[in-house]
Chains A and B, each alone.
Chain A
Amino acid sequence: MSVEKNELNPKNPFLPEPARIVRMYPLTDDVKFFQVRIADMEKALAFKYRIGQFAMLSVLGAGEAPFSISSTPSRPGLLEFCIRKTGTVTEALFRLKENDLIGIRGPYGNGFPVVQIMGKDVLIVMGGLGAAPLRSVLLYCLDNRDQFGRVILLHGAKKPSEMIFREEFLDLKQREDLECYLTVDEDDTKKWKENVGVVTTLFPKINDIYPGNTFSLVCGPPVMYKFVLKELVKLNIPKDQILMTLERRMKCGVGKCGHCAIDYIYTCLDGPVFTYWDVIHMRELI
């Protein structure tokens, strides 16, 4: 899918647009949820993005970094991010309060090929912070429920307290049009009513997958890919229908700074969504 140009500031794609933090609250000990609105109302409503795209967020004095958009384009106006405190920029973001201003640029990247996925069954596999980009997909599918076949969600976390969007996803279990399976590697609370085990232990619970008619969307820590991909191949899902979204260091988001380069591929322009075939075909992707 081709990349559309950033229309926020067409003359200078590097110019951050002021955006206001509308809401922020913790999801886990080190992950916070940010709801952001571009300060200029016209630009806020004109900001069009696709599921799986990302934005560059900046805090003056700390710097700029890329973040997956966790909200869905089917609910325009507000942008949502879930952010783990892990470096200079994210620490600065955590120090901010509601109503503070940050800078935003984007949307960038190819995003998931929505048109191809429409009409197909969708198998979403997420681990840990992999929920950040895939929540966008999940909400998009649920908002446009009649456009998709089965929607299946597999979500794994280390512990119940580390499960991102835990309550949101537990509520979703009530829905009859979503097959939602949650798991934790280890239940330290002894109150967890869902599955215990790594995310691959959820695969036996899903049945009657029609591989040719299924798109699987995967995001999680590097170690998770290895095992999940094996399961998906076992299910006979075609390699170009297994989609994953990758993380790379980025300083620009527009194919200039070079940090996200792999061969002649730029993760920011040609990714961050790649198929499993891309990953086999191009070295160094995961």
Chain B
Amino acid sequence: MRVVKLSKENLIPFLEVISEKTDLWAPVRKPNSGHVFKEIDDFALIDVDYTRTILPPKKIFLPPSFNMFKASNNNYVEDFSHVSPKILFGVHPCDIHGLLIMDRFYSYIFDDPYYSKARDNTLILGHSCWPDENCLCKSTNTHIVEEGYDLFFTDLEDSYLVWIGSSKGDDLIRVKAGLFDENIADKDIQSFIQWREERDKAFQTEINFSAMPDLVELKYNDTLWEKLGNACLACGSCTNVCPTCNCYNVVDKPALGEDSSQIVRCWDACTLENYSEVAGGENFRKKRSDRLKLWYTHKLQAYISKYGKPSCVGCGRCIATCPVDINVKTVAHTLDGENVDSFWIRFHKEVRK
């Protein structure tokens, strides 16, 4: 690993020069709703002072809906039009961990070319962040990154420490090497250590994820699932905003009057009713509580059992998004012994007023 320094006024000039031939995507504030990753035309709009974007970067690699094939007369032609060279700037550690989980998933046994082509064509420029009350990444141990980025910018008041994580990242630095300072002074190291200590103290929420597999197992038939199921709107928002949710549906859309089709792949959600329905109308998870249970056993139990860590990266998006307050935080706390009725009363008080 090589670390260099970049003074803050040199950030935009650096982004300008590297994005001359490649599209740059970065966080931008959307009026009245939050931050989004967006293609940048105006560098003044880039806003790195954000906690979480509405949607995670997965939308850039696998858009909510895209074409897999154009087909006519039983001749299927691959369509990779969603793939183009991109630089993605301002990605937080939790989202980088989300991409690492996606990488493993989409290359497991069979490689998914729609994901891997888009991933291979995108450079990841990470950015440090500061937690709010919903950030859980310290509990999931995803508040720091050691891989999965080409460059990573740690924000230290007047300058950035830039961690070079790949050969491509090194090439980027060399595009305008004059902007960077190779010498890291003792003062910089001290301010990094101080930043890290203060940032680690700033977390307000903690979840004991290592206890979750056993608790999910023991409470598998608990009435809490029924109660959560009654509150759940089955809207699928939690899955849409989750950086590690990857389920999708495939639809054959025929063109009217022609013998041709577009094979469209679009996001799906295990919390939606027809998700597990098979031929003849048999549905393995007709109840909302069963589908919620699937989501949470997957995130909090199954993945931990298989890979030793949760498939939650602690980004807090489900907390910020769920309209009825069912999220990793409330479910984990409920599993951990918080009275579900008190949660229920709080929910009624807060939502009904």
Task: Identify which of residues 97-128 in chain B touch chain A, using a CB-to-CB cut-off of 8 Å.
Answer: 105-106, 108-114
Chain B residue contacts of A257, Cβ below 8 A: 247-250, 268
Complex-state Cα separation, A230 to B248, whole angstroms: 37
Known contacts A61-B252, A65-B279, A261-B294: does B220 contact A283 (CB below 8 Å)? Answer: yes
Q: Is A258 an interface residue (CB 8 A)?
A: yes
- Which of A61, A65, A103 is most buried by chain B, counting CB atoms within 10 A of its CB? A61
Chain A residue contacts of B106, Cβ below 8 A: 256
**Chain A residue nearest in CB terms to B282:** A222
Contact indicator per residue, chain B 274-306, by CB within 8 Å of chain A (1) or not (0)? 011111101011000000001001100111011
Check B74 against A103 for contact (C-beta < 8 Å): yes
**Chain A residue nearest in CB terms to B112:** A256
Q: Is B246 an interface residue (CB 8 A)?
A: yes
Known contacts A13-B110, A63-B252, A263-B301: does B276 contact A256 (CB below 8 Å)? Answer: no
A57 CB to nearest B CB, Å: 12
Check A84 against B279 for contact (C-beta < 8 Å): yes
Set B78, B111, B280, B298: member contacting A263, Cβ < 8 A: B298
Check B268 against A264 for contact (C-beta < 8 Å): no
Complex-state Cα separation, A45 to B109, whole angstroms: 23
Check B254 against A61 for contact (C-beta < 8 Å): yes
Q: Is B69 an interface residue (CB 8 A)?
A: yes
Set A6, A18, A62, A64: member contacting B110, Cβ < 8 A: A6
A211 CB to nearest B CB, Å: 31
B200 CB to nearest A CB, Å: 31
- Which of A12, A64, A248 is most buried by chain B, counting CB atoms within 10 A of its CB? A12
Interface size on A, residues (CB 8 A): 42
Check B252 against A258 for contact (C-beta < 8 Å): no
Complex-state Cα separation, A251 to B323, whole angstroms: 29
Set A18, A64, A259: member contacting B247, Cβ < 8 A: A259
Complex-state Cα separation, A103 to B75, whole angstroms: 9
Set A6, A61, A247: member contacting B278, Cβ < 8 A: A247
Check B110 against A254 for contact (C-beta < 8 Å): yes
Complex-state Cα separation, A269 to B75, whole angstroms: 27
Q: Is B251 an interface residue (CB 8 A)?
A: yes
Q: Is B68 an interface residue (CB 8 A)?
A: yes
**Chain B residue nearest in CB terms to A284:** B284
Set B110, B301, B303: member contacting A256, Cβ < 8 A: B110
Contact indicator per residue, chain A 1-38, by CB within 8 Å of chain B (1) or not (0)? 00101100001111110100000000000000000000
Q: Is A249 an interface residue (CB 8 A)?
A: yes
Q: Is A204 an interface residue (CB 8 A)?
A: no
Check A249 against B110 for contact (C-beta < 8 Å): no
Q: Is A101 an interface residue (CB 8 A)?
A: yes
Check B280 against A86 for contact (C-beta < 8 Å): yes
Main secondary structure of the interface of A (DSSP, over half): loop
Chain A residue contacts of B334, Cβ below 8 A: none
Complex-state Cα separation, A255 to B282, whole angstroms: 21
Task: Identify which of residues 237-283 in chain B touch chain A, using a CB-to-CB cut-off of 8 Å.
Answer: 246-252, 254, 259-261, 268, 270, 275-280, 282
- How many interface contacts (CB-CB < 8 Å) are there between A and B? 113
Q: Is B40 an interface residue (CB 8 A)?
A: no
A206 CB to nearest B CB, Å: 30
Chain B residue contacts of A3, Cβ below 8 A: 109
Check B78 against A12 for contact (C-beta < 8 Å): yes
Check A248 against B278 for contact (C-beta < 8 Å): yes
**Chain B residue nearest in CB terms to A264:** B302
Q: Is A183 an interface residue (CB 8 A)?
A: no
Known contacts A249-B275, A249-B278: does B247 contact A60 (CB below 8 Å)? Answer: no
Q: Is A241 an interface residue (CB 8 A)?
A: no
Q: Is A131 an interface residue (CB 8 A)?
A: no
B220 CB to nearest A CB, Å: 7
Set B68, B298, B301: member contacting A261, Cβ < 8 A: B298
**Chain B residue nearest in CB terms to A258:** B247
B308 CB to nearest A CB, Å: 12
Check A15 against B78 for contact (C-beta < 8 Å): yes
A88 CB to nearest B CB, Å: 9
A281 CB to nearest B CB, Å: 12
Set A61, A65, A264: member contacting B305, Cβ < 8 A: A264
Chain A residue contacts of B112, Cβ below 8 A: 13-14, 254, 256
Chain A residue contacts of B78, Cβ below 8 A: 12, 15
Q: Is B71 an interface residue (CB 8 A)?
A: yes
Chain A residue contacts of B298, Cβ below 8 A: 261, 263-264
Complex-state Cα separation, A115 to B320, whole angstroms: 52
Task: Identify which of residues 197-212 in chain A touch chain B, using a CB-to-CB cut-off of 8 Å.
Answer: none
**Chain A residue nearest in CB terms to B111:** A13
Complex-state Cα separation, A276 to B305, whole angstroms: 21
Chain A residue contacts of B113, Cβ below 8 A: 11-12, 14
Chain A residue contacts of B43, Cβ below 8 A: none
Known contacts A11-B113, A249-B277: does B71 contact A258 (CB below 8 Å)? Answer: no
20 contacts between A and B (CB under 8 A): A5-B109, A5-B110, A14-B113, A14-B114, A58-B252, A60-B254, A60-B261, A61-B252, A61-B259, A64-B252, A84-B280, A86-B279, A86-B280, A248-B278, A251-B249, A255-B109, A256-B110, A258-B248, A263-B298, A283-B220
- Closest 7 A-B residue pairs measured CB to CB? A258-B247, A264-B302, A254-B110, A61-B254, A63-B252, A86-B279, A101-B74
Not counting A61-B252, A254-B110, a sample of 19 additional A-B residue pairs whose C-beta atoms are within 8 angstroms of each other reads A5-B109, A11-B113, A13-B112, A15-B69, A60-B72, A62-B252, A64-B252, A84-B280, A86-B279, A251-B249, A251-B268, A252-B250, A255-B110, A256-B248, A257-B248, A258-B248, A258-B268, A259-B249, A264-B305
Which positions in A face B, CB cutoff 8 Å?
3, 5-6, 11-16, 18, 58, 60-65, 84, 86-87, 90, 101-103, 222, 247-249, 251-252, 254-259, 261, 263-264, 269, 283-284
Which positions in B face A, CB cutoff 8 Å?
68-69, 71-76, 78, 105-106, 108-114, 220, 246-252, 254, 259-261, 268, 270, 275-280, 282, 284-285, 294, 297-298, 301-303, 305-306
